[in-house]
Amino acid sequence: MRGSKASCISMDRLSKKKHSLCSDGFDRCLSKLPDNLLLRILSLLQMKDRVRTGCLSTRWKNLWKPISNIDFTQTNMHKTPELIAAIDKTLSYHDVLQSLSFKEILGISGSPSVSVTDLTFETEFWKCNLSGLVYVLRDFSKLEVLTINVMRNHDNKSGDFYKEEKSGINAYWKPDDSSVLGLQQHLKTVKINGFLGSLDTSAEFETTTESILNARDTEFVFVKFLLRNLTELETMIITITEELDNFPALKKLDILSQLSSRLLAFSKSSRKAQILINPDQLTDA
Amino acid sequence: MATIITKEQQEKEKMVTLVSSDSEKFVVEQKVAEKSHVIKMVMNCCGIESPIPVRRVKGDILKSILEYCEKHSKGEAQEVMEKWDKEYMDKAEKDLVFFHDLMLASHFLHIQELVDLIAVTFAGMLKMKSPEEIRQKFNINNDLTKEQEEHIMTTFGWAFQPI
């Protein structure tokens, strides 16, 4: 062929040649590589390998963090709580999560083909956690029971992702996102423990119930999303945070009733679905 | 016959000359050069009559890149291509500086297939290695403070467990 003759390329000669483009050594060159190229490379790595690159130098420190697919497949964490802690920590650094896979949990059950049916997940329920939660639903398509433990906010966990709160919910997750629609055919039970997270109990007299609830809007958005998308849902058990006891009895009652009416007003795609709020406390009373 | 001449002319028109940053000239088929989106765009708007300068890429790198493009414009069987790609990368990764230049050039020229191939190879080099091993391999200078390093180690402790 004419083309091959004209270009007459030989790799053997190439590798012997010296290249002077990087006179300062490979390090300088690596640092000069554009972010998107390095991100492309990092996105191909397993989570563990990826996170480790954050320890290489300042150039690499935060490089891996915006990558939107998370893969915990090859981690050698055998304890589920340990893995959940790791995932949760990682989630808090990701506001544009697209996929989340941690198949090691499957490994525990013996065979990777057996899918997770029961998942417990801890989150602080910030807006930036939402997309991650949604993708948990997408990736764990065989889930039957989903338990979400809402953790109290810890002030010491300051950092980059709090700033993201301001950019609004739609920046990383559209509540109308239908990508998980129809994928959750098995999910029958959703438990949310510690609903409302840590309420601000210091200003109970001035603050209206409405604004107290509005402050934890994320949780309502997520519940609304679940109810609309889970076609097979049977029970949603919501246990409200113990922080509520800090309120005076009347206020507590007001919050509970407003919260209930909000939750019950959401449209449900599953006819069987029933929402139970604080079922344990009800039986106690 | 007139038709034959036209055909030959068309054949001739399909060749394009690329000039590297160190003035090395390469005559390749248009479809080979088209593997680069950047060169394709240049050809579309400026034609292929005059040589196209590829200013940021040196001769040896361009040569290697064109070898890749040529192989990949033939439409051979997938197994053949995979084997060829592997050999191509095996050679390239022996010289890290060359490898780096190849990566940057393919990125600059927008040859997505090659960028992907190099990225996979590069990722392979980072896999299952301790930060120290990676630093040594790529001669990376660790400019993190001890506190920063410790913070990363404790925040993501699970990633630093023995491999």
Give yes or no: residues A208 and A189 share one domain: yes
Give yes or no: residues A187 and A156 share one domain: yes
Give yes or no: residues A222 and A232 share one domain: yes
Is the CB of B156 less than 8 angstroms away from the CB of A37?
no
Is residue A7 included in any domain, yes or no? no
Give yes or no: residues A107 and A215 share one domain: yes
Is residue A140 included in any domain, yes or no? yes
Is residue A110 included in any domain, yes or no? yes
Is residue A170 included in any domain, yes or no? yes
Q: Are A14 and B60 in contact (CB under 8 A)?
A: yes
Give yes or no: residues A46 and A165 share one domain: no
Give yes or no: residues A263 and A274 share one domain: yes
pLDDT of amino acid B55: 84
Q: Are A64 and A50 in contact (CB under 8 A)?
A: yes
Give yes or no: residues A252 and A223 share one domain: yes
* ipTM tops 0.85: no
Is residue A8 included in any domain, yes or no? no
Q: Which residues contact A171 (CB under 8 A, 6 or more apart)?
A: A95, A164
pLDDT digits (tens, 9 = 90+) for B25-61: 999 999 999 999 889 988 888 888 889 999 889 999 9
Strand (E) positions, chain A? 69-71, 99-101, 118-123, 145-150, 189-195, 235-240, 274-277
Nearest to B139 among A2, A26, A48 (CB): A26
- Token pair of B50 as six digits: 């005059």
Give yes or no: residues A60 and A140 share one domain: no
Give B-chain residues touching A2 at CB under 8 angstroms. 11, 15, 29
How far is B95 from chain A, CA to nearest CA, in Å?
A: 7
pLDDT of amino acid B140: 84
Q: Which residues contact A162 (CB under 8 A, 6 or more apart)?
A: A126
Is residue B8 pLDDT above 60, yes or no?
A: no
pLDDT of amino acid A7: 37
pLDDT of amino acid A283: 47
Give A-chain residues touching B158 at CB under 8 angstroms. 48, 75, 77, 82-83, 85-86
Last residue of a domain, one of A41, A66, A91: A66
The answer to whether residue A57 neighbours chain B at the CB level (below 8 Å) is: yes
Which amino acid is residue A89, in one-letter code?
A: K
Confidence band, pLDDT 50/70/90 cuts, at residue B7: low
Angstrom distance (rounded) from CA A229 to CA B67: 51
Domain that holds residue A279: 68-284
Give yes or no: residues A146 and A238 share one domain: yes
Residue-level pLDDT, tens digit, chain A, 285 residues: 443 433 333 333 333 333 434 444 555 567 678 888 888 888 888 778 888 888 888 888 888 876 655 556 555 555 555 665 666 566 555 543 434 444 333 322 222 223 456 666 666 676 656 666 666 666 666 677 888 877 765 443 333 333 344 444 444 455 555 555 555 677 888 888 888 876 665 555 567 778 878 877 878 888 888 888 888 889 999 988 888 888 888 888 888 888 888 888 888 888 888 888 887 765 444
Q: What is the pTM of this model?
A: 0.53
Domains and CATH numbers, chain B: 13-130 (3.30.710.10)
Is residue A214 included in any domain, yes or no? yes
A115-129 as b/e, with b when 16 or more CB fall inside 10 Å? bbeebebbbbbbbbb
pLDDT of amino acid B23: 93
Is residue A1 included in any domain, yes or no? no
pLDDT of amino acid A242: 82
Is the CB of B103 less than 8 angstroms away from the CB of A75?
no
Among A21-30, A82-91, B9-18, B95-104, the range scoring the smallest mean pLDDT is A21-30
Is residue A98 included in any domain, yes or no? yes
Confidence band, pLDDT 50/70/90 cuts, at residue B84: very high
Across-strand partners of A120? A147
Give yes or no: residues A46 and A126 share one domain: no
Is residue B82 pLDDT above 50, yes or no?
A: yes
pLDDT of amino acid B161: 73
Give yes or no: residues A149 and A221 share one domain: yes
Give yes or no: residues A243 and A122 share one domain: yes
Q: In chain A, how many domains are there?
A: 2
